[in-house]
């Protein structure tokens, strides 16, 4: 900000950073508003990159931190005839391109909520408030700037931002701003799925997942983001999955509050578990093996979901591994069981199993077994999965009722029978005669 000011530009701290400081919260990031154009910012900062097609922004990098620098935008009333090429809207009123620059007095009316429209000036350490944002923050009110329906149509993601800020801050949405929220949910279908993925992460991985989920369901937006999940939650068979999802979101909020890591892989695995398992059951009834049915069901659910919220492959691949491991964790006998403990997805799969057991979707004894196994030393683990230290053998009669594979133990009865069986005599093989060189085959 001081470098911009020293170069002759205005520079204000703006948006959520100012709001959070007034609320006594630690800002997640900082945004800067300036009258410098993006190209001017890039000239001042070598560690700068310009992004955005709908509206050009400058990202200034300081290590892993990014400071977003936006040029003051012009109000639509100030649009000159020769500037119409800089503003493009679709049939629903959604802004597709907007690179019209103006002054701070114009820029404030382009922001979404009054609580996010405060400017902190480093020149005299004052807050510039054009819309009554300070008073709304004190009152805990989330109020949209301008005519609500028109503002939502300009950018339908504001529907989700209203939910997120209300959940995160504990604010109530102003009645005029809330009135069109439910009826305009269909606008979310025109938002690029990749952008909705980013919004979903902000909704569910920011420490306010439960409140966000409840508000999304209340306004009907959850169905536009996850239609298959929403349909299952509303069905008669949805009870265990409603409890599972709520339990997982509560656990996520606790981890964020305790400053522990959270992962989108676990989030999307829980979200899609209900539809995937129902589809997998159907495919098993049609003759597919359990593992193959789970993989096919996960692929189908993932492909369908991509049309609404685009989930990257870096998430879907480990998500499917977690789902398949729910089947493999059902096996508790044989030395191969110990290999599961070293699997990269074991911990996440184990956590999902424990959540499922807690709400009655899995056998609690199974979760207890894996909990107990992790606490044992190597010898005790081997004794747990292979009582008596039975030697490797093949054939039928595996303890869990299935066909045995290499490394799994036989029953005690088979071991005793092997001990009583006389040793086989080995027949000595005659040495093979070599053919003379050059002889015919």
- Residue 31 falls in the annotated catalytic set: yes
Q: What is the pLDDT along the chain (441 residues), one digit of tens a residue?
A: 999 999 999 999 999 999 999 999 999 889 999 999 999 999 999 999 998 876 789 999 999 899 999 999 886 554 444 454 445 555 555 555 556 788 998 899 889 999 999 999 998 999 999 999 999 999 999 999 999 999 999 999 999 999 999 999 999 999 999 999 999 999 999 999 999 999 999 999 999 999 999 999 999 999 999 999 999 999 887 788 999 999 999 999 999 999 999 999 999 999 999 999 999 999 999 999 999 999 999 999 999 999 999 999 999 999 999 999 999 999 999 988 999 999 999 999 999 999 999 999 999 999 999 999 999 999 999 999 987 665 444 444 333 433 333 333 333 333 333 434 444 444 555 555 555 544 444
Mapped to the 3 state alphabet, what secondary structure does 107-168 carry? HHHHCCEHHHCEEEECCCCEEEECCCHHHHHHHCEECECCCHHHHHHHCCHHHHHHHHHHHH
Could you say which architecture CATH assigns to the domain 1-145? 2-Layer Sandwich (3.30)
Q: What's the pLDDT score for residue 116? A: 94
Task: Find the catalytic residue in 98, 107, 112, 174.
Answer: 112
Domain locations in the chain as residue ranges: 1-145, 227-388
- Residue 112 falls in the annotated catalytic set: yes
Task: Find the catalytic residue in 20, 31, 98, 174.
Answer: 31
- Residue 82 falls in the annotated catalytic set: no
The encoded tokens of residue 409 equal 């133990």
Angle CA 91–96–98, to nearest 5 = 125
Strand partners, 303: none
Topology given in CATH for the domain delimited by 227-388? cca-adding enzyme, domain 2 (1.10.3090)
């Amino acid at each position: 900000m001081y470098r911009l000011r020293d170069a002759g530009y205005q520079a204000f701290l703006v948006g959520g950073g100012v709001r959070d400081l007034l609320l006594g919260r630690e800002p997640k990031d900082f945004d800067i508003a300036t009258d410098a154009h993006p190209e001017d910012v890039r000239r001042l900062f070598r560690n700068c990159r310009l992004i955005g097609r709908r509206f050009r922004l400058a990202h200034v990098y300081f290590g892993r931190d990014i400071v977003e620098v936006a040029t003051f935008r012009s109000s639509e009333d100030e649009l000159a005839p020769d500037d119409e090429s800089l503003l493009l809207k679709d049939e629903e009123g959604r802004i597709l391109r907007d690179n019209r620059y103006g002054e701070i007095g114009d820029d404030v009316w382009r922001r979404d909520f009054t609580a996010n429209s405060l400017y902190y000036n480093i020149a005299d350490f004052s807050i510039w408030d054009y819309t009554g944002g300070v008073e709304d923050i004190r009152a805990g009110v989330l109020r949209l700037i301008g005519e609500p329906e028109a503002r939502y149509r300009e950018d339908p993601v504001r529907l989700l931002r209203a939910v997120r800020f209300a959940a995160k801050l504990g604010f109530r949405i102003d009645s005029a701003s809330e009135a069109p929220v439910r009826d305009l949910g269909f606008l979310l279908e025109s938002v690029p799925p990749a952008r909705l993925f980013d919004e979903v992460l902000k909704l569910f991985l920011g420490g306010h997942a439960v409140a966000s989920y409840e508000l999304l369901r209340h306004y009907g937006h959850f169905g536009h983001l996850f239609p298959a999940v929403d349909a299952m939650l509303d069905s008669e068979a949805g009870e265990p999955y409603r409890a599972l999802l709520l339990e997982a979101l509560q656990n996520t909020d606790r981890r964020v509050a305790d400053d522990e890591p959270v992962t989108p892989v676990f989030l999307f695995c829980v979200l899609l578990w209900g539809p995937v398992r129902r589809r997998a059951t159907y495919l098993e009834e049609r003759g597919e093996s359990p593992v193959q049915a789970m993989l096919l069901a996960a692929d189908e659910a993932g492909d369908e979901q991509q049309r609404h919220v685009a989930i990257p492959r870096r998430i879907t691949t480990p998500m499917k591994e977690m789902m398949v491991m729910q089947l493999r964790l059902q096996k508790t006998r044989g030395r191969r069981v110990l290999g599961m403990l070293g699997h990269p997805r074991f911990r996440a799969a184990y956590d999902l199993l424990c959540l499922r057991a807690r709400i009655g979707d899995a056998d609690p004894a199974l979760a207890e077994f894996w909990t107990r196994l992790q606490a044992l030393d190597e010898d005790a683990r081997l004794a747990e999965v292979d009582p008596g230290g039975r030697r490797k053998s093949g054939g039928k009669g595996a303890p869990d009722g299935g066909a045995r594979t290499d490394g799994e133990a036989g029953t005690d009865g088979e071991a005793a029978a092997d001990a009583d069986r006389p040793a086989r005599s080995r027949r000595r093989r005659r040495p093979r005669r070599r053919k003379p060189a050059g002889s015919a085959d």
